[in-house]
Structure 1
Amino acid sequence: MEFSGGGRFEVRITAADVGKRVSVRRWDEHAAESEKFTDTVGLLTSWDDGVLLITRRDGESVRIEESSLVAAKVVPAAPVRRRGPAASYGELVRIAGRAWQPVEQDRLGAWELRAASGFTRRANSVLPLGDPGLPLDEALAVVRRWYAARGLPAYVQTATGTEGTQESLCAQLAARGWTREVTAELWTGPLAPVADREAPGVVLSRTAEAAWLARYQRKGMGEVALKVLSGGPSVWFATVPGAPGAPPAAIGRCVVDGRWAGFAAVEVAPARRRRGLASAVMAALARQALEEGASAAWLQVETDNEGARVLYTKLGFRAHHAYHHYREPDSPRGPDAGGAAAAGPAPAA
């Protein structure tokens, strides 16, 4: 990482650069000789009392003592290099929101408050897409009261890693004691290569029938959960039948919304994994989405679901941005994660 010419390090940032993307190098006299210099790149979210807080693309915040700085500079935003369909964060977050529609919603300025009796964090969290119209502490107080009135913990869904995301809000929530409970990623890819896969024995339906639900490994499957699963512009459910009297071998869900097809709830029976059933389910759903005019695909996957990530990479998907759910201080663990597209029962939030 090059900071200056002539071999001299320089600190070229000040507290006035809060809100800008920076690259810093610090010195740790207690580290091993080969590890004394540490580089960090991210959004400078605060600089108070001699401590810098830098939020990286993955949402992690790093505290750096001002006295340890040996070099620092403002850097331009990272260029966006994507092999998949072009899309902004704003477009994708709204598409994803329509795929997991709440049964109740309200607005606080540009913030969307969403509730669905606790089924999935995505349908039971605030989507902060702009200015709430109040100072942050007042807005968060309103949020907490709104969810408390419904017997739910308050969650705020944020994103990091691309233009228009909320690194600064992540740092402000963390500073106020909100806990980052789950981090996942939204991936995008072209739809046609998914549809080109074989799809033997896959049955499509407009409803989540009893057999489909028998394989869906989620808690709280009541009337509200069924409304969330069935909500969206054009929803399809895929099933690969299992043995007679047994749950299906595999299932999946797809929501077609304009040019986008969103995959979720892709689950395979443990004994039937690594036999191509997940890609078969997605292929059948992709063909239906193509018939309805879609051309691009998205899905959500947790960062530690290695099996699913390998599958989606083979299908042409790439990470677009990370997203996080911050839970209010002093509240119990909240909604079930809900159905991401997963090669096994390991959903995103």
Structure 2
Amino acid sequence: MSVRRLGDPASQTETFTDTVGVLTSWDEGVLLITRRTGETVRIAESSLVAGKAVPAAPARRRGPAAGFGELARAQARAWQPEESRPLGQWTLRAARGFTRRANSVLAVGDPGMPLDDALARVRAWYGERGLPAYVQAATGAEGTQEALCAALEERGWRREVSAEVRIGGLAPVADLGAGLPGGGLPGGGPGPSGEAAGASAGGGTGRVTLSRAPDAGWLRRYQRVGEPGPHVRNVLSTGPSVWFASVRGEGEVPVAIGRCVVDARWAGFMAVEVDPAHRRRGLARAVMAALAGRALEEGASAAWLQVETGNTAARALYDGMGFGVHHLYHHFRAS
């Protein structure tokens, strides 16, 4: 809906404010509009001037065509929990607290029961495991869950973090390697160890190395955990076709890392991190180019990634690499 309402009633001049989003509630004289970003706007019925239904946004002209359901399933396969259980069409996921993505309900579809009963089951299931209850839901694309997000907020669940899901063509990412110092992409297949030499990274650092499992140095660079337990390795190493990239410096810990999961036509990029002392040297692009080259060899053609809305540096990087926002997802925590 596109809704126009009167602005500040105390103003000397008549002003109007427009709000565009999904109408998720109209009750007791108050409308709730959920914007693409997941923000819920309350509008008094008495302030309404005009409103109209608007068609769904046209298909994106930049990047591959993709539906929300297809992307949500690909993302779930790329970051799998240690334990899962269905709740209707929802999926309960747990991995001993390692990341919200692996310890939240993937609320796609119908839970098969009234929402309050489903949320009670969610609280109980996570409570049995000593974990906070989280629900992951999305906004901003056809088929996303604006109504669920609004219902969670009404019930006191707090939106704790939001992230953009971005998509783009895979070949342009691989082509980035040609413009880097010492450029070029991985050549030939992986060796007996599962490793392959990658693009030179620039700035006097070593080459990108690809492997099928994260070594101790890769895990030390990964900033999401302290001392990683087996559950961390399980989550990181599970997926349709998982690759890890490292750029070695002078020490034991890589100066840059990344992870890619190849799944049919999709290649998902995660855990791209660079040592602060080595940033702005093209290392993130080198890592992604090497991973993209390997994904192309495995038949993928499209790319996706996730970036938190507050990470302005990463968002600017991905803008420059041609990734456009497809939708946003949010983690709601039970109060």
In structure 2, what is the equivalent of residue 298 of structure 1? 304
In structure 1, what is the equivalent of residue 113 of structure 2? 134
Q: Give the deviation of 1:33 after TM superposition.
A: 5.4
Q: Which runs of 5+ in 1 are unaligned?
A: 1-21, 330-349
In structure 2, what is the equivalent of residue 4 of structure 1? none
The whole-number CA distance in structure 2 between the counterparts of 1:296 and 1:63 is: 38
Alignment of 1:1-349 (within 5 A): 22-30=1-9, 32=11, 36-198=15-177, 199-200=199-200, 201-219=207-225, 221-245=228-252, 247-329=253-335
The whole-number CA distance in structure 2 between the counterparts of 1:234 and 1:78 is: 33
The whole-number CA distance in structure 2 between the counterparts of 1:79 and 1:85 is: 13
Of 108-117 and 303-312, the range deviating more from structure 2: 303-312
The whole-number CA distance in structure 1 between the counterparts of 2:166 and 2:174 is: 17
Q: Give the deviation of 1:48 after TM superposition.
A: 1.2
User: Secondary structure at 1:217's aligned position in 2?
Assistant: coil
User: Secondary structure at 1:319's aligned position in 2?
Assistant: strand
Deviation per CA, 1:288-320, whole angstroms, max 9, x where unpaired?
111111111110001121211121122111110
Q: Give the deviation of 1:325 after TM superposition.
A: 0.4
AA at the equivalent of 2:238? G
The whole-number CA distance in structure 1 between the counterparts of 2:59 and 2:300 is: 23
In structure 2, what is the equivalent of residue 332 of structure 1? none
Of 135-144 and 211-220, the range deviating more from structure 2: 211-220
Normalising to structure 1: TM-score of the pair? 0.86
Whether the 8 Å contact between 2:20 and 2:35 is mirrored in structure 1 is yes
State the superposition RMSD in angstroms.
1.3
The whole-number CA distance in structure 2 between the counterparts of 1:215 and 1:241 is: 11
Q: Give the deviation of 1:154 after TM superposition.
A: 0.8
Identity %: 69
Aligned residues: 307
Q: Which runs of 5+ in 2 are unaligned?
A: 178-198, 201-206
Deviation per CA, 1:235-262, whole angstroms, max 9, x where unpaired?
11100001134x2110000111111111
